[in-house]
Structure 1
Amino acid sequence: MKPKIYIDGQAGTTGLEIYQRLSLREDIEILEIDPGKRKDEQERKKLMNEADLVFLCLPDDAAIKAVSLIENEHTKVIDASTAHRTLDSWVYGMPELNEEQRQKIKTQRWIANPGCHATGFILGVYPLVQNGAIKANQSIVCFSLTGYSGGGKKMIEQYEKNKTSDLMAPRIYGLNQMHKHLPEMKKICGLEGTPVFYPVVSDYYRGMATTISIENHRKQEIYDILNNWYKDSSLIHVSQRNEGMISGNEMAKKDSVELIVYGNDTRVGVTVLFDNLGKGACGAAIQNMNLMLGFNEWEGLNL
């Protein structure tokens, strides 16, 4: 029997893309809600408890409420909101951390899908902390560029229907240094302090470039650490560049990740390239679903 999947919040940017991608698969059954009952709590509750796995593509408060509606102890959940990412009772959905994390995702019910900016930061920083190239008490500065689809339906409409002159250039936001992805960035990487974080949205649809800088280490050393960490990964590729430019949309419509190391013997940059709707959201959610339901981890992904 095919596993039954329900997407709560299917009309949003993330929910819609997950639905479109899963609709192409023949190894699962999608439980669909009548469009007129999308906000009917009892109908949603019924479908969630019928499902083998539920995707929550909702705002934080709505995701917390949705979890309270799930009474079937066999229903597994992937939450795409921020609500549960730093809770010890939930598993952080990033199997690339280590094999132990991958096994937890395979065996646990409650999976918190990582945030898009946090994904780029953690994939670059976590291995460097584990290998001592970045100290847990070290101050880290991160610059993270995203396409405007990262802002959801409202921002997409701004850029595509009501574009004003200020939208034609990159815009820095999160100026109060309280961006909602910072807690997971700090916790998952085991940092003592909160990074200084500059998220930037720009006038292109999808794709991310998350950049950190490292001092007092040689470029080759940083490359070797990252390349060794991800050497067995089918999804993450590590490379070196010292010429040309790096574009934020290089990985658009892909679920894979490119870590680019550049610089010299004293100052090194690492830029993590990926799709905010791929590994930054929907691709990661589908990867986690594959692990939780016993499918090939890469099924339905564009690598």
Structure 2
Amino acid sequence: MAAKVFIDGEVGTTGLQIRDRLIKRDDIRLIQIAPDRRKDPEARREAYSEADVAILCLPDEAAKESAALAADLPVRIIDASTAHRVNPDWAFGFPELSANQRARIVAAKLVSNPGCWSTCAIGLLAPLVKAGLIAKDAGLTINGVSGYSGGGKALIAEFEAGTAGSQFVYGLDHKHKHLPEIVTHVGLTRKPIFIPSVGKYEQGMIVQIPLHLSAGQTAAQFQDALAAHYADAQFVRVVDPSVPGARANPERLNGTNYMDLSVHASADGERLVLMACLDNLGKGASGAAVQNLNLMLGMDEGAGL
């Protein structure tokens, strides 16, 4: 029997991407409501009542309202917003985070999907902090570039209208919404400086974390720690530094659910840059939601991906 899934907010960027991944599957039946009733609480509650899993693709406050609306129902929920990512009652939807994270997602009623930037930063930092190669109170800087699709309909419209420019830096108030989940799920005691940018292309992302190596540290130790942590991961790959080439292309993994991690050392061995690349609409959003859905339903983790 096909599992019943309701996407609340399916007309947004993430919702549409999730729908496209699920609509072709014969093991999933999508529950939909009439367009003129999409904001009707009664219609949405009826959909929640029918669904096995609901995926919230909504702004933060609307996601909180929807979670409350369905709280007394047996439906399981994946929230793609920022609203619940540091709430301990919600399983954080990055299965590769730790040895027991996948099992927690499998058993959870409530799962919070990670952000695209945080998936990259956590993917790089969490194993290295655990291995003792990066201190929890290290003075870290995180930067990167993403396609404009991650900014939602308003930003997409700006770029398509040609009014957004070629690229811009943002988060200069040091309050980027992905910072709390990075700090929480890496286990940092000191907030990183996180200043990302958006480029004039639709999707794809690269995140970079530069480091000065301490005495006795080598780039190989960082590479080996990442490789050991992700040895059994299906969608997170630790690649040779030469794979991205002399120029790292943020669109390289578009259309996939992969995230590639790499370690790039200076010739003198004193500095390195940690780098993560993914599709911000794939492993950074809708692909991650489908991966979590598969786990929650007891299906092949990579189904539809």
TM-score normalized by the length of structure 1: 0.96
CA contact (8 A) 2:48 2:73 kept: no
Residue 266 of structure 1 corresponds to which residue in structure 2? 270
Aligned equivalent of 1:81? 81
Amino acid at match of 2:191: T
What is the CA–CA distance in structure 2 between the aligned matches of 1:154 and 1:7, rounded to whole Å?
A: 21
Contact 1:121 1:142 (8 Å CA) reproduced: yes
The whole-number CA distance in structure 2 between the counterparts of 1:89 and 1:232 is 27
Q: Is 2:224 the partner of 1:215?
A: no
Matched residue, 1:38: 38
Question: What is the distance in 2 between the residues matched to 1:144 and 1:110?
Answer: 30
Matching of residues 232-247 of structure 1 within 5 Å: 232-241=232-241, 244-247=246-249
In structure 2, distance between residues paired with 1:32 and 1:113: 21
Instruction: Indicate the residue corresponding to 2:177 in structure 1.
Output: 180
- 1:108-119 alignment runs, 5 A limit: 108-119=108-119
Shift of 1:241: 2.2
* Equivalent residue, structure 2, for 1:129: 129
Matched with 1:281 is 285
Structure 2: 5+ residue runs without aligned partners? none
Q: CA deviation at 1:49?
A: 1.6
* Distance in structure 1 (CA, Å) of the matches to 2:94 and 2:220: 26
Matches within 5 A, 1:142-161: 142-160=142-160
Q: What is the CA-CA distance between 1:7 and the residue it aligns to?
A: 0.4
Report the Cα offset of residue 198 of structure 1.
1.0
How far the C-alpha of 1:71 sits from its partner, in A, is: 4.5
Q: Distance in 2 between matches of 1:223 and 1:266?
A: 15
Equivalent residue number for residue 203 of structure 2: 206
Aligned residues of 2:235 and 2:259 also touching (Cα < 8 A): yes
The Cα of 1:154 is off from its aligned counterpart by 1.3
**Alpha-carbon distance between aligned partners in 2 of 1:124 and 1:45, rounded to the nearest angstrom:** 39
Partner of 1:95: 95
The letter for the 1-side match of 2:176 is: H
Say whether the 8 Å CA contact 1:5–1:30 is kept in structure 2: yes
C-alpha displacement of 1:53:
0.1
Aligned to 1:26: 26
Aligned mates of 2:31, 2:52 — CA distance in 1 = 10
Structure 2 counterpart of 1:40, one-letter code: D
Matched, 1:7 2:4: no
Counterpart CA distance in 2 for 1:72 and 1:296 is 29
Paired residues of 1:80 and 1:113 also in contact (CA < 8 A): yes
Are the counterparts in 1 of residues 94 and 113 from structure 2 also a CA contact under 8 Å? yes
How far the C-alpha of 1:240 sits from its partner, in A, is 2.7
SS in 2 for 1:240: coil
CA–CA separation in structure 2 for the residues paired with 1:71 and 1:232 = 35
- Runs of 4+ that moved beyond 4 A: none
1:255-282 Cα distance to aligned partner (Å, 9 max, x none): 0111121113110111100000001000
Aligned residue number for residue 302 of structure 2: 298
Paired with 1:155 and 1:97, the residues of 2 have a C-alpha distance of 30
Matching residue of 1:163: 162
Partners of 2:300 and 2:22 in 1: how far apart? 14
Note the C-alpha offset of 1:74.
Answer: 2.2
Q: State how far apart, in whole Å, the 2-side matches of 1:74 and 1:43 are.
A: 17
SS at match of 1:95: coil
How many pairs were matched up? 298
Identity, % of aligned pairs? Answer: 39
Contact 2:143 2:208 in 1 (8 A): yes
Deviates more, 1:104-113 or 1:229-238: 229-238
More moved, 213-222 vs 62-71: 213-222
RMSD: 1.1
Tell me, yes or no, if the aligned pair for 2:5 and 2:53 is still in contact at 8 Å. yes
Map Cα deviations across residues 236-261 of structure 1 (whole Å, 9 max, x no partner).
11123255111111111110111121
Match of 1:256?
258
- Which amino acid is the alignment partner of residue 167 of structure 1? G
Which AA in structure 2 matches 1:163? G
How far does residue 72 in structure 1 lie from its aligned partner after superposition? 4.8
SS at match of 2:180: helix
> What are structure 1's unaligned runs of at least 5 residues?
none
Structure-1 separation of matches of 2:122 and 2:98: 12
